[in-house]
Amino acid sequence: MSPISNSTLTNLILMATISTSVVSLSYDSPDSLIPKYQATYTHMKSIAEWKDNAFNTLPDYSLPNEEQVKIQTIVGFSHLVIANSTDIDSEYVDIVNENFWDLI
């Protein structure tokens, strides 16, 4: 094993110092990178205030009535059935009329 020379040790310390130092580079940052909007956050001081205000809906939003949604679904389905139905031949109509109770 050869002993480390003085110049090698000096070079090693110099390289370690240079590689770990931080060099600040000056450059201009474009204005498009800076955010222009500011966010504001509110907080409730008590749990009662949070409970009362947590689930407030927007003024222009209303929850749909469940029965109204069901009725609109039935009406929409019936419109689609009527719009997509076709008449059957008269001979089939006569057969169904004659044997209606047997078919049920």
**CA gap 38, 43 in Å, rounded:** 17
Is there a domain that residue 70 lies in? yes
Query: What is the full per-residue pLDDT of the chain (104 aa) written as tens digits?
Result: 455 566 787 888 877 777 766 666 566 666 666 667 777 777 666 666 666 666 665 666 666 788 888 999 999 999 999 999 888 888 988 888 888 888 77
Look up residue 40 and give its two tokens.
Answer: 């504001």
Is there a domain that residue 27 lies in? no
Which is nearest to 56 in space by CA: 67, 44, 38, 65? 44
Is there a domain that residue 81 lies in? yes
Which is nearest to 9 in space by CA: 17, 34, 95, 101? 17
Is there a domain that residue 75 lies in? yes
Give the total residue count for the chain. Answer: 104
Is there a domain that residue 74 lies in? yes
pLDDT for the residue numbered 1: 44
Is there a domain that residue 83 lies in? yes
Domain housing 87: 64-104
pTM of the model: 0.31
Specify the number of domains making up the chain.
1
